[in-house]
Amino acid sequence: MRRLSQLLLCVCAVVGALSLARPALTEGADPVTIGAIEILSGPNAKYGVSIKQGFDLGVAQANRAGGVQGRPLAIAYEDSAGSKEQAINAARQLLGRAKVPLLLGPTLSTEMFAVAPIAVERKTPIIGTSTTANGITAIGPYVFRTSLPEADVIPVTLRTARDKFGVKKVAVLYGRDDAFTKSAYDVMAKALADLNIEVLTTETFGAKDTDFSAQLTKIKSLEPDAIVVSALADAGAGILLGKQALGIPASVRVIGGNGLNSPKVLEIAGAASDGLLVGSPWFVGKSDPKNEKFIADYRAAYGADPDQFAAQAFDTAQIVASALNAAKDLSGDSIREALLKTKVDGVMGEFSFTEGRDPAVTSGVLVLEAEGGRFGILK
């Protein structure tokens, strides 16, 4: 009888410890509401909507696991519509009036350079999930990101193109008036030089341009082995269609930065996207139980496959929930300290932040190839 009592005490202790580690939601408790600024309307909503859907799935999972210290986690969204000014107004609304303890987004690096200083001034942590430009986390000590910088991804993609397809000379085409596309171009230029790949010409375009025939005609005359492109989805798809229309051979592949790593590019460009190469830290075909469940849940909720941006957002929601549970309180400094110590095994792989608040992801970079309207791992 005494042994049975001791056993029951042990079981109760274990159950009690588990309850402390993962408290049940308190009925009627007010939610812990954080803010998010994403592009939910306009030409680049394809990124922001995907991110929002990833967040929402991640929050639902976090709440099933007990939420944040017994309270449900919630996100208050603001639509930037891709406008830097609108993103700034959204930040002032969320940080100033709503007084959220943490901010997610915004979607584009150009927006982050405008918004992050506001969060830093208020000592509120801000986490970018799709901002890959150089210098994002250097804005200030409260700026984090869960997206791999282009500096980690693009060199792998270009090295693979050189080694597998014998790419020795390229033309470069990039958007000159967006912080993300300009930063990615800077990474491309350095990587091409480091890899001893000759650049035959460097052409640019503006954010509102839809006709790329002049640049592509010049590029065609130089007979490059590949075209290296830094663009957002609509422009990237337009470049692929323009390349096909001008009769540039299919053997002259387009090698894209993170902006072209979107199913929307393939949807718009159709067969013209065949052969497109992009680098990614995640792929829908990744065989892993966590990833497979995430994909199944996403398909059930939204009737489509997730993309990299949704996967990064989903993991970010888990990272945020873990940090908020570990934080001493909901002050900016406590959350910042907790984020720096957070480790999560998510659909992107094992995740933690570096001292510089960039992702320390161990899963590595995959090179994807477009074929038949879908991305696949390059074999």
What does the block give as tokens for 286?
């990744």
Q: Is residue 14 a part of any domain in this protein?
A: no
Give burial (CB, 10 Å; 0-12/13-18/19+) of 202: middle
Q: Is residue 334 part of a domain?
A: yes
pLDDT at residue number 136:
97
Domain final residue pick, 250, 280, 310: 280
Give yes or no: residues 342 and 247 share one domain. Answer: no
Tokens of 98: 């709503």
Boundary (domain end) residue, out of 280, 308, 326: 280
Q: Which pLDDT does position 197 carry in this prediction?
A: 98
Which residue type, as a one-letter code, is found at position 72? P
Is 104 in the same domain as 161?
A: no
Contacts of 161 (CB under 8 A, 6+ apart): 167, 226, 253, 255, 277
Host domain of residue 319: 32-148+287-352
Residue 362 is predicted with a pLDDT of 56
pTM, two decimals, is 0.86
Domain boundary among 228, 245, 280: 280
- pLDDT, residue 331, reads 97
Say if residue 143 is in the same domain as residue 164. no
User: Is residue 8 in some structural domain?
Assistant: no
Does residue 290 sit in helix, strand or coil? helix
Question: Could you give the number of structural domains in the chain?
Answer: 2
Residue (of 104, 63, 136) closest to 316 by Cα position: 104
Place of tokens 């208020």: 122
Q: Is residue 4, in this structure, part of any structural domain at all?
A: no
pLDDT at res. 27: 72
Residue 46 inside a domain? The answer is yes
Residue 27 falls inside a structural domain: no
Angle at 128 between CA 159 and CA 355, to 5 degrees: 75
pLDDT attached to residue 274: 97
Residues 219-245: b if buried by 16+ CB within 10 A, e if exposed: bbeeebbbbbbbbbbbbbbbbbbbbbe
In this predicted model, what pLDDT tens digit does every residue of 213-265 receive, in sequence order? Answer: 999 999 999 999 999 999 999 999 999 999 999 999 999 999 999 999 999 99
Q: Looking at the domain assignment, is residue 17 inside a domain?
A: no
Ranges of the chain whose pLDDT falls below 70:
1-24, 361-363
pLDDT for position 363: 59
Task: Say which CATH number the domain at 293 has.
Answer: 3.40.50.2300
- Tens of pLDDT, residues 125-165: 999 999 999 999 999 999 999 999 999 999 999 999 999 99
Task: Identify the bridge partners of residue 127 per DSSP, sorted by sequence position.
Answer: 104, 144
pLDDT at residue number 23: 58
If DSSP codes are grouped into helix, strand and coil, which group holds residue 273?
Answer: helix
